[in-house]
Amino acid sequence: MFHFLYYGLVEHSHGTPKQQKGEVLLMKITVVGAGQCGSRIADEFARLGMKARRHRGVEVITNSLAVNTDAGDLTGLSCIKSDWRHRILIGGRKTNGHGVGKINDMAADIARDDADKVIDGIRTSKRFYESDAFLLVASTAGGTGSGSIPVLCSVIKQRYVDKPVYVLLVLPFEHEEQTEHRTIYNSAMCLKSVSSVADAVILVDNQRYIKKDASLRNNMTKINQLIVEPFYDILCAGEEKKKKNIGARLLDAGDIAQTLVGWTIIGYGKSELHTISLPFIRKRDFRAKSTETNKGLQAMDQAISELSLQCNPRDAGRALYLLSAPEKEMNMNLVKELGDYLKNIAPEAVIRYGDYPRKEGALTVSVVLSELKNVDKVKYLYNRFPDMLEKKEKTERALMAGKKELETASIGIPSLVE
């Protein structure tokens, strides 16, 4: 028996106003990436959209745009359409297309001046009006992405009041904190600014990916694929809506919108299934059932141990999980067991869930922990900010003093130009 609160399609009636009785809504998003990291991840979302169309016959990404002050970075993308409405160069006159060199306030000014270009790119895309939400993406440590994303978030929110705006922020590797004081300075400012305007801030820590596999240190493309992976099933989940699947809980746009609030973390776990089913293991056999349950719990355990950022699930006010597996591998007992597991580690959270039967593939569990009341890494970056500010001001003062000294020494030397 459930001893806690579950929300599934059958049990709740929330959802966006478009929702008809009994209809399941897909979550379609418009993705906007800013700066190098943001643009590359937006490119990866464009690839995910193509995959969803090809393999599952659904549209989940209505459009994907890249915004940058660096023209070279825009050229290097592969899946985002290559015209100027999709790859948007901002601040061209100020930076000559060479980036802002980590100066976040310069990027924020540029974003304010050129926000219309981004709005035009969003507005003029063919499928924009089908989209349910925005997902903006940037790293916190660079200049362009971290400086422009809070401004773009605020402009988009004011312009499209009925669509939630989620922001995915990538936190820096630990070694970047040591080598560059701008890393902490930019990150703290970006986190504070974005959290005050976005509907939810999805946090991803680069360091987590190299902890899992050190060879990923120089493989940003692979890290980006891992960052995007958990979104695939969540976005595609409504696909099987026409299938008669008694007792199934389908996850839809309403569930996602109700879950994503404030600081948010995602996780993803996978358990490979036997491709050959042995004739002597009958599905009704209790041992076969318990193997399925173990596989499900193993995938859930992986999703929780490999969350996109280290956090304490007990701090979550809302959570969501999606079990995705071939229909024959799924049973409600497993769905309930996963719910019990999650409730155990996140006792304060209101849990929404869904199961997503597919024709084939592995058993996967996607987890979202949201409305986190505490995130240690964010607190750490905020706490280190005053030191970094002092260091930055000291460096600037030393630079000014040096310049002044040179200028004073040059007094009395005639110049050959006016």
The site for ligand GTP (CB under 6 A) is made up of 35-37, 40, 69-70, 99-102, 139, 141-145, 170, 172-173, 176, 206, 220, 223-224
Cβ nearer to Mg ion, comparing 78 with 344:
78
Q: What is the DSSP string of 309-322?
A: S---GGG-SEEEEE
Question: Residue 314 phi/psi, 5° resolution?
Answer: -65, -20
Q: Counting contacts by CB under 5 A, is residue 176 touching Mg ion?
A: no
CB 136 within 8 A of CB 167: yes
- Residue 100 Cβ, how far from ligand GTP at the closest point, in Å? 4
70 touches Mg ion (CB under 5 A): yes
Report in angstroms how near the CB of residue 227 gets to ligand GTP at its nearest.
6
Over the window 95 to 114, marking each residue x when it contacts Mg ion by CB under 5 A and - when it does not, the resulting string is ----x---------------
> What span, in angstroms and rounded, lies between the C-alpha atoms of 117 and 66?
11
Distances (CA, A) of 139 to 102, 172, 240: 11, 7, 34
Q: Are strands 165-171 and 318-326 parallel, antiparallel or unpaired?
A: unpaired
CB closer to Mg ion out of 99 and 164: 99
Kindly report the backbone phi and psi dihedral angles of residue 62, in degrees, each rounded to the nearest multiple of 5, phi listed first. Answer: -75, -30
Q: Which does 100 bind (CB under 5 to 8 A by kind): Mg ion, ligand GTP, none?
A: ligand GTP
Q: How far is the CB of 206 from ligand GTP (least distance, A)?
A: 5
Least distance between Mg ion and beta carbon 146 (Å): 10
Our CB check for ligand GTP shows the closer of 43 and 132 to be 43
| Least distance to ligand GTP, CB of residue 102, Å | 4
DSSP 64: E
Quote the CA–CA distance of 349 and 319 in Å, as a whole number: 6
- Residues contacting 380, CB < 8 A, separation 6+: none
Residue 170 binds which entry of ligand GTP, Mg ion, none, CB below 5-8 Å type-dependent: ligand GTP
- With respect to ligand GTP, which residue has the nearer C-beta, 314 or 377? 377
Rg, C-alpha atoms of the chain: 24
Task: Please choose which of Mg ion, ligand GTP, none residue 206 contacts, taking the beta carbon within 5 to 8 angstroms, the exact cut-off set by kind.
Answer: ligand GTP
Minimum distance from residue 203 beta carbon to ligand GTP (Å) = 12
When the beta carbons of 80 and 223 are compared against ligand GTP, the nearer one is: 223
- Give the amino acid at 177: E
Report the nearest approach of ligand GTP to the CB of residue 343 (Å): 32
H or E segment and range at residue 7: strand 6-7
CB neighbours of 3 closer than 8 A, spacing ≥ 6? Answer: none
Return the one option of Mg ion, ligand GTP, none that residue 224 interacts with (CB less than 5 to 8 A, by type): ligand GTP
Shortest reach from residue 344's CB to ligand GTP, in Å:
31
- What length does the chain have? 418
Would you state the torsion angle of the CA atoms of residues 223, 226, 231, 237, taken in this order, to the nearest 10 degrees?
160
Q: CB 170 → ligand GTP: shortest distance, Å? A: 5
Nearer to ligand GTP by Cβ, of 36 and 154: the residue is 36
E-state strands within 239-373? 262-271, 318-326, 350-358, 363-370
Piece in contact with Mg ion (CB under 5 A), picked from 65-73, 177-185, 247-255, 300-308: 65-73
Nearer to Mg ion, 36 or 193 (CB): 36
Q: Which stretch binds Mg ion (CB under 5 A): 66-74, 158-166, 169-177, 260-268?
A: 66-74
* Cα atoms in the Cβ-side hemisphere of radius 13 Å centred on 71: 10
Nearer to ligand GTP, 64 or 224 (CB): 224
**Mask 222-241, x = binds Mg ion (CB under 5 A)?**
--------------------
How far is the CA of 208 from the CAs of 6, 174, 201, 231, in angstroms? 30, 10, 17, 18
Instruction: Provide the token pair at 306.
Output: 């490999």
Closest-approach residue to Mg ion (CB): 36
Question: Mapped to the 3 state alphabet, what secondary structure does 159-175 carry?
Answer: HCCCCCEEEEEEECCHH
Q: Indicate which single residue of 9, 27, 36, 319 sits in contact with Mg ion (rule: CB under 5 A).
A: 36
235 binds, among Mg ion, ligand GTP, none (CB under 5 to 8 A by kind): none
Footprint on this chain of Mg ion (rule: CB under 5 A): 36, 70, 99
